[in-house]
Homo-oligomer: A and B are copies of this chain.
Amino acid sequence: MCPAYDVYEDRCPTRLVLDRLADKWALLILDHLAEGTMRFNHLRRDIKGISQKVLSQTLKRLERDGLITRTVYPTVPVTVEYALTPLGRTLAQTAAALTHWAESNMDAILAAQAAYDAAGAER
């Protein structure tokens, strides 16, 4: 049963992983944690536009997948730090490739969209 995993197969576990990777927030979090350990509100501040609910959910999923660690320090008030695991660090590298691709090729995409929309408008 799926000895060599294949993302093209339905029901293959890799599809579950793809769902995770294909979450823009997860990508941003992974990418940002590559810069170092961070606290909850630090992530919330840096990743503009994410809600605390979604941040919380996403962090929990990433922790479950063994991609990040969650460390609680019994201070008052509580301090919680998030960091990449070795496994998470390998993923963060390929995730970084995606975000950097987005930043690098933004102009080309915007141009393509403009051309496409212009062609479609005059019909």
Contacts and interface: CB of A to CB of B under 8 A. Distances in A.
Tell me how many chains of this kind the complex includes.
Answer: 2
Given A46-B8, A65-B109, A109-B66, A15 B24 contact: yes
A97 interface: yes
Given A46-B8, A103-B7, A105-B90, A110 B13 contact: yes
**Contact residue range for chain A?**
35 or more
Contacts of A101: 21, 90-91, 94
A21 B66 CA distance: 23
Contact of A102 (B11, B18, B47): B18
A105 B5 CA distance: 10
B17 A102 contact: yes
A11 B9 CA distance: 35
A123 interface: no
